[in-house]
Amino acid sequence: VVRRLCGGSAEKFLLVETAERGKALVAKGSFKQGDVILLEEAILSLAAGASPVAALGLLSRSQRRRLAALHCHTRLAPARAEDGAGALSEQLGEEGERLLEEMVASGVWTAEQAVQDAGWLWQLLRVWDANKLSFVTAQGPEQCVFERISRLNHSCEPNVRLLPAGPKQLLVVAAVDIREGEELCICYPERNILPMLHFLHAPTSWRRRTLERWQFLCRCVRCEAPRPEQVEDLEEEARALVSPLQAATSSEDFPIDQVLQLLSQCQDAGLGCDHWLSFWLLSLCMVGSSARPLQVASHGVARASHLPRGGDHVGKVKQHRMDSLVYDRENGTRHRPLHSSRSK
């Protein structure tokens, strides 16, 4: 609820440079929960998933200058849920491999002009990709880039929220009381007013993993806790599992043994099912060891909540848990002990 409008023309925040998160917006004074900190109109606004190639080509010089000042990465980000079918990296290639042909196909450039303009356009496309904010208006899902709002960093303990205010306009509203000097942060995976509880309540490693799609390692206050080396090794092994998983075309060539082995190592390392890796492996067990994934998945999720968190008791209960996790392919509904599954 918007409690109080902080009127006046003077800005209510400062743009500062931080060591961990690049530029950031910091409160100039204190705010009460519900205060409106800023109302801003986007430099560029498009329907969610629409290609920005032509739109960027048609911007005025001053709009291009304002955009070019914003942060960007060297390559385009992988698809995110809000991109729908149309992630920019899929259209152009992560390094802009198909940029020239898309410029010509947009109808804004001839082949010769495309070669001349590709440099600045590639920068603006990366700026768009790194700064676009997604929200839903009366016209449908939109993505916009703002001169100031796009400077808001992400935090897993956000203190401001974005509310659509009109065509191409967003309000920045204090979600909690904010003290002078505090950094103003939103939660990137959260869209509109609804808090993304399954993101904010997830463990640190899971949240950081999700934010890889925004191309940064989250260094918000909540995430800045050291991680044991052993866990990093396990995460490395998990990455090696991705290729065999992607190559699997049926439950027969699904790498269930490798999944189970890594899950077992996770348990030995004391990673409970609240850790993203154990959770991911458990989900794979449910899907990969059954011809009926959904039924098994729901059964498995119920069981997963009983998984041990680690410590001495892990070894004693581990075999019992693993027995329960493996689904019998032949009999459909019965579980089979781990040793018989492996000895096959």
Ligand X SMILES: C[S@@+](CC[C@H](N)C(=O)[O-])C[C@H]1O[C@@H](n2cnc3c(N)ncnc32)[C@H](O)[C@@H]1O
Q: Identify the residue among 51, 89, 215, 295 touching ligand X (CB under 6 A).
A: 215
DSSP code per residue over 71-127: ---SSPPPP-GGGTT--HHHHH-TT-TTHHHHHHHTTS--HHHHHHHHHHHHHHHHH
Q: Identify the residue among 99, 127, 130, 285 touching ligand X (CB under 6 A).
A: 130
Q: In the 8-state DSSP scheme, what is residue 236?
A: H
If one asks whether residue 304 binds ligand X (CB under 6 A), the answer comes out as no
Q: What is the dihedral of CA 36, 38, 44, 45, to 10 degrees?
A: 0
What is the smallest separation between the CB atom of 149 and ligand X, expressed in angstroms?
Answer: 9
Shorter beta-carbon distance to ligand X: residue 131 or 134: 131
Distances (CA, A) of 173 to 37, 42, 65, 148, 185: 6, 16, 27, 14, 11
Q: What tokens were used for 129?
A: 């990709």
3-state secondary structure of 16: strand
What is the smallest separation between the CB atom of 67 and ligand X, expressed in angstroms?
Answer: 12
If one asks whether residue 13 binds ligand X (CB under 6 A), the answer comes out as no
Instruction: Single out the segment in contact with ligand X by CB under 6 A; choices: 136-144, 215-223, 284-292, 293-301.
Output: 215-223
Shorter beta-carbon distance to ligand X: residue 154 or 321: 154
Q: Decide: 66 and 43 in contact? Cβ < 8 Å.
A: yes
Closest-by-Cβ residue to ligand X is 22
CA 90 to chain centre: 17
What is the smallest separation between the CB atom of 87 and ligand X, expressed in angstroms?
Answer: 16
**Residue 215 backbone dihedrals phi, psi, to 5 degrees:** 65, 40
Q: Identify the residue among 64, 126, 151, 299 touching ligand X (CB under 6 A).
A: 151
What number of other Cβ atoms are within 10 A of residue 335's Cβ? 18
- Residues linked to residue 327 through DSSP beta bridges, in sequence order: 335
If one asks whether residue 208 binds ligand X (CB under 6 A), the answer comes out as no
Q: Identify the residue among 45, 137, 143, 153 touching ligand X (CB under 6 A).
A: 153
What is the smallest separation between the CB atom of 299 and ligand X, expressed in angstroms?
Answer: 37
Shorter beta-carbon distance to ligand X: residue 24 or 326: 24
Q: Identify the residue among 22, 166, 167, 332 touching ligand X (CB under 6 A).
A: 22
What is the smallest separation between the CB atom of 155 and ligand X, expressed in angstroms?
Answer: 6
What is the smallest separation between the CB atom of 2 and ligand X, expressed in angstroms?
Answer: 24
Shorter beta-carbon distance to ligand X: residue 222 or 306: 222
The amino acid at residue 197 is L
Q: Which residues contact 237 (CB under 8 A, 6 or more apart)?
A: 262, 265
If one asks whether residue 69 binds ligand X (CB under 6 A), the answer comes out as no
DSSP code per residue over 259-297: HHHHHHHHHHTT--TTSHHHHHHHHHHHHHT-SSHHHHH
If one asks whether residue 219 binds ligand X (CB under 6 A), the answer comes out as yes
If one asks whether residue 89 binds ligand X (CB under 6 A), the answer comes out as no
Residues that bind ligand X (CB under 6 A): 20-24, 70-71, 130-131, 150-151, 153-155, 214-216, 218-220
